Structure 1
């Protein structure tokens, strides 16, 4: 099954900040659960422990959970596989706003803002304080492919190969951020 990327709107808000918007075909409560519950989050992003108002949670990198088919893990990402990042919850306002550190606090702050739109949910993701040398391009393509995964999961559909979507997102984001 060939995957088709439906890229969210992405924009550079500053040299270290990107913002993505994605309209998801699910209720705000469902999307909130996919952001905060580790067992659901691992199907589109990273597992670990649940995010709550208790302050800290873990993100575990294991993208083998993302593809419905058995696909090879790209060599360029293998060194990160299994890594655990300890994150802090900075704001927890169910079901509208979740703000956390990213990369153990070394790669900035991510804000997930949710707005109900009938039976759908508008997710606005802002990642600020990016210090990675690959900058907004790398995080932008990562977030784009993960938000595509989220869209599939909340809609009850699968994705054969996450890495195909990720490769497509790299090209889409490069073009979007260049304009």
Structure 2
């Protein structure tokens, strides 16, 4: 991978889509969104199982540093639009993601949550940082930074995956019918592929 100290914006081919994430360092992707609400409200969507299940995955999380969490991914439940899951070879992941878990590394409600994130094939865990900060008016800036990714495939999978999951959250907060997950993920995987691939050369 070619290290770079300056962020590389990932250009979205869809003019009306949300802003793309950035490759901010080797094996690191960062995505930001402005969301309606307060940090306290958005914090519940990160740590409470029933709220998190609306956009990412449900599952218990111990509210302390060193606590354990488990995520139960059910992508088919994120939208009322029913779509078949892609074949495993099309998911751009080194392993199957149905249920996984890790450790709470930092717990600072309602501003910062840091989790270890399992990597496939026995690789050391990667790390996900969630940050919430007041922005303009009644909006909150959500920043998700996923670092220490083990491979190009892992980086591509989480880039497209986080972008799509956050899109579902945006729909939920706006009171819209959530977008279908799998077709959105496939489109975003294609959008992220050129820069992610270049970062691993």
The normalised TM-score by structure 2 is 0.76
C-alpha deviations, 1:36-83, integer Å up to 9, x for none? 111111111111113522611111122111121222222325x836x3
Contact 2:167 2:179 in 1 (8 A): no
Cα distance in 2, alignment partners of residues 106 and 167 from structure 1: 26
Contact 2:118 2:126 in 1 (8 A): yes
Contact 1:37 1:51 in 2 (8 A): no
* Structure 1 residue aligned with 2:47: 36
* Structure 1 residue aligned with 2:8: none
Contact 1:61 1:80 in 2 (8 A): no
Q: Which runs of 5+ in 1 are unaligned?
A: none
The structure with the largest alpha-carbon Rg is: 2
Higher RCO (Cα < 8 Å, 6 or more apart): 1
C-alpha deviations, 1:98-145, integer Å up to 9, x for none? 000112784400000111122111111111110134142221111111
Cα distance in 2, alignment partners of residues 51 and 176 from structure 1: 36
Q: Which runs of 5+ in 2 are unaligned?
A: 1-14
Instruction: Identify the match of residue 113 of structure 2 among 98, 104, 108.
Output: 98
Cα distance in 1, alignment partners of residues 179 and 28 from structure 2: 31
Structure-to-structure mapping, 1:14-33, within 5 angstroms: 14-33=25-44
Do residues 89 (structure 1) and 104 (structure 2) align? yes
Q: Structure 1 residues 120 and 56, CA, compared in 2 at 3 Å: closer, same or farther?
A: same
The normalised TM-score by structure 1 is 0.85
SS at match of 1:138: helix
Count of residues in correspondence between the two structures:
174
Instruction: Identify the match of residue 62 of structure 1 among 61, 74, 77.
Output: 74
